[in-house]
Amino acid sequence: MRLLSADYSGDCITVRRASDNATQNIGFDDDGVLDITSLESFCAGTDGFVTTWFDQSGNGNNATQTIAANQPQVVSSGSVILEDGKSTIEAIDINYALTLPFTGATQMTTVTVSRMYDISSNRYITDSASGRYIVGVFSNTDKYTAFRSTALSGDTAQTTQSSLYFATFDGVNSTFTNDGGTTYTGDTGTSTFTELRLLGGVGGFNGNVQEIIIYKSDQSSNRTGIEDNINDYYNIY
């Protein structure tokens, strides 16, 4: 929900307002964050839902949802939904709110800022159509997972505030780090995907997401710098 690349000149999201189902692209303000003024003007007195979350890489891998009932919410009764004072996309009981095309690589890194409101069922911030849960939590263990179909992290899932999740697959092992803490490692991961799905899981996702960054490479060596940049803005830990 912020401008990540100086080379990107496009919009942030496309929003559908509930009052008449009209849609409008919403860009960034002069500070490089979602243009809340324009968004609240467009959705004055009504709810707003995300139909497209634009890819800033230049590759056109936009995350989209055409089914109104599955679109995540960004405006409630004319006001932008906030997490810790910053705009966010919220999905309540929605399974795979947004999807994007993705051709798998031999290595992969995903970095996300999200808060899961509950973990009463399996929740996945990012997932794949091939059955690998990229970043999420297993409710039966209350533990996180990364590029696996089983729990990986020793940390208990956080639900009271946003967290910064850093997950990698290097071709052999998968790793997971939460809020710059301990890195947990496991095998049997994969990055062979043809489609990525955002905000899903058994019973649907319950929570919000503010940022998702995906690399087709192992960014472990750059983890501290990436995390510091994100944490400087979101002040998570």
- Nearest C-alpha neighbor of 75 from the set 52, 101, 43, 106: 43
Number of other CB atoms surrounding residue 77 within 10 Å = 11
pLDDT at residue number 136: 93
For 157-190, what is each residue's pLDDT tens digit? 999 999 999 999 998 999 999 999 999 998 877 8
Half-sphere exposure of 117 (CA within 13 A, CB side): 15
pLDDT at residue number 206: 96
Residues of the chain with pLDDT under 70: 131
Say what the pTM is: 0.95
Strand-strand pairing, 133-138 and 123-128: antiparallel
Structure tokens that stand for 67 in this block: 């089914």
pLDDT at residue number 188: 79
Domain with CATH 2.60.120.200 in the chain: 92-237
DSSP code per residue over 115-177: EES--SS-EEEEEETTS-EEEEEETTTTEEEEEESS---SSBPP-SS-EEEEEEE-SS-EEEE
pLDDT at residue number 10: 97
CA 152 to chain centre: 19
Strand-strand pairing, 108-116 and 123-128: unpaired
pLDDT at residue number 133: 81
* Tokens 């472990």 sit on residue: 220
pLDDT at residue number 131: 67
CATH class of the domain at 92-237: mainly beta
Burial class (CB in 10 A: 0-12, 13-18, 19+), 221: exposed
